Amino acid sequence: MPGAIHAEGLVKTFGEVRALDGVDLDVPEGTVLGLLGPNGAGKTTAVRCLTTLLRPDSGTATVAGLDVLRQPDAVRRSIGLSGQFAAVDEYLTGRENLHMVGRLYQMRSRAAKVRAGELLEQFHLAEAADRPAKTYSGGMRRRLDLAAALVVSPPVMFMDEPTTGLDPRNRQELWVVIKRLVSGGTTLLLTTQYLEEADHLAHDIAVVDHGRVIAQGTSDQLKARTGGERVEVVVHRRERLGDAAAVLRGFGKGGATVEEHTRMITVPVTGGVKLLAEVIRELDSRGVEIDDIGLRRPTLDDVFLSLTGHPAEEGAGNTDDPDEQAPEGAGPAGGHRAAPRDGRSDSGEGTAS
């Protein structure tokens, strides 16, 4: 049975650029899918197609059991969207912003005010509720934007790089909010360039590069593809790097990586802590002094580098890529929007909630 978000063979082109090249996704109800990839990979284009902001050239998709192409109005009533940039009116107060969104969703004024008050409390914005949004910090604006996307308590949420530009404290605060949201039963598709964020929040991760899903699985499953555990050794004297590398190669299950500037050697291994003790004894017997040694599992950074051949942050800021621009008639790249009851744009495709 298809999940709360389901896509098969999504293709979207902009001129000669193939932003999506046959994307398949399935997100079970009440879970988080992390869509991971650099700018220009196709993440935002996928979100726009799934939220009815863009019409795919081919392929099918359903959201909350509703066909994205045949039932766009119903899809918009069933989703929340928080884009790359906080879509709040800077001259309205936090309370007024939320009340306005509620009214756009056809809520009665009293009900919209009550819901605004609930969300301001939930997102720790009650004390600033009657201040203009332009006086809010970046983290507060982000929380207000997310609150606006939840005015109608949608069963499915899309968050497109929700923590981009936030400092570590605000990012972690938003993570808490997202976890609380999902624990309440909401299904979430989250796009991000932050590998730590995907590791922390997502039940399942899809790695996207050049418009294709090149790998999918849990964080542990993806990490296992890179070769398991790794021993890292920092040698005290740079001239002993060769000797230490020879020792580690004897224990490793692959080639050793030597970084001369940090005097670090890394090698994939199996055997856990017991093997680590053996490595230490062998280095000591060879007279190789070390400053540090450790056993670690691969990170999602390792996974991404292994799968794509380049770091996750490579390509960031590529504003020439159509994936990072709003195509004509498609609406803004970021933010949430409530559709009028007929939900139609000039192109006949409608805008996203």
Q: Are 168 and 290 members of one domain?
A: no
Name the pTM for this structure: 0.73
Q: Are 167 and 239 members of one domain?
A: no
For 233, list phi and psi in degrees, rounded to 5.
-125, 130
Mean pLDDT to the nearest integer, 171-197: 88
Do the domain assignments include residue 314?
yes
Q: What percent of the chain has pLDDT over 90?
A: 54
Q: Are 122 and 204 members of one domain?
A: yes
Q: Are 182 and 290 members of one domain?
A: no
Tokens of 348: 């006949």
CA dist 335 → 38, 146, 330, 350 (Å): 20, 9, 13, 15
Q: What does the DSSP 8-state code read for residue 105?
A: T
Between 59 and 277, the more confident residue is 59
* 3-state SS string for 6-56: EEEEEEEEECCEEEEEEEEEEECCCCEEEEECCCCCCHHHHHHHHCCCCCC
Q: What does the DSSP 8-state code read for residue 190?
A: E
Do the domain assignments include residue 342?
no
Q: Are 148 and 274 members of one domain?
A: no
Domain total for the chain? 2
Do the domain assignments include residue 349?
no
Please check whether residue 315 is in contact with residue 236, taking contact to mean a CB–CB distance below 8 angstroms.
no
Is the confidence at residue 22, as pLDDT, over 50? yes
* Mean pLDDT estimate for the chain: 84
Last residue of a domain, one of 296, 316, 345: 296
Do the domain assignments include residue 30?
yes
Tokens of 87: 């879509």
From first CA to last CA, the distance across the chain in angstroms is: 26
Q: Are 104 and 245 members of one domain?
A: no
Half-sphere exposure of 214 (CA within 13 A, CB side): 19
Q: How many residues does the chain have?
A: 353
CA distance 198 to 202: 5
Query: pLDDT confidence of 8, banded at 50, 70, 90?
Result: very high
| pLDDT number for residue 309 | 66
Q: Are 205 and 240 members of one domain?
A: no
Between 324 and 139, the more confident residue is 139
Between 7 and 302, the more confident residue is 7
CA distance 132 to 136: 7
Do the domain assignments include residue 341?
no
Between 243 and 339, the more confident residue is 243
Is the confidence at residue 32, as pLDDT, over 70? yes
| pLDDT number for residue 11 | 97
| pLDDT number for residue 296 | 82
Please check whether residue 139 is in contact with residue 173, taking contact to mean a CB–CB distance below 8 angstroms.
yes
Q: What is the pLDDT of residues 264-287, one digit of tens each?
A: 998 888 777 888 889 999 999 999
Mean pLDDT to the nearest integer, 6-33: 96
- DSSP result, 262-328: TTEEEEEE-SHHHHHHHHHHHHHHTT--EEEEEEEPPPHHHHHHHHHSS-TTTTTT-TTSGGGS--T
Name the most confidently modeled range: 60-69, 287-296, 306-315: 60-69
Q: Other C-beta atoms within 10 Å of 118: how many?
A: 15
Q: Are 189 and 91 members of one domain?
A: yes
CATH number at residue 275: 3.30.70.100
Q: Are 180 and 250 members of one domain?
A: no
Q: What percent of the chain has pLDDT over 70?
A: 86
Q: Other C-beta atoms within 10 Å of 346: how many?
A: 6
Q: What does the DSSP 8-state code read for residue 335?
A: S
| pLDDT number for residue 254 | 74
Q: Are 132 and 166 members of one domain?
A: yes
Q: Other C-beta atoms within 10 Å of 37: how many?
A: 27
Give the alpha-carbon dihedral of 71, 73, 76, 77, to 10 degrees: -110
Q: Are 245 and 197 members of one domain?
A: no
Tokens of 230: 């790794």
CA distance 46 to 323: 9
Q: Are 22 and 86 members of one domain?
A: yes
CATH number at residue 146: 3.40.50.300
Do the domain assignments include residue 348?
no
Do the domain assignments include residue 82?
yes
Is the confidence at residue 322, as pLDDT, over 60? no
Do the domain assignments include residue 351?
no
- Give CA 11 to chain center in angstroms: 20
CA distance 209 to 229: 25
CA distance 275 to 279: 6
CA distance 303 to 225: 7
- How deeply is 162 buried, as exposed, middle or buried, from its count of CB atoms within 10 A (0-12, 13-18, 19+)? buried
| pLDDT number for residue 227 | 64
Q: What is the pLDDT of residues 202-241, one digit of tens each?
A: 999 999 999 999 999 998 888 877 766 889 999 999 999 9
Identity of residue 277: A
CA distance 259 to 235: 10
| pLDDT number for residue 342 | 40
Is the confidence at residue 346, as pLDDT, over 50? no
Mean pLDDT to the nearest integer, 60-81: 95
Q: What is the pLDDT of residues 106-127, one digit of tens each?
A: 899 999 999 999 999 988 899 9
List the domain range (segments joined by +) for residue 264.
229-296
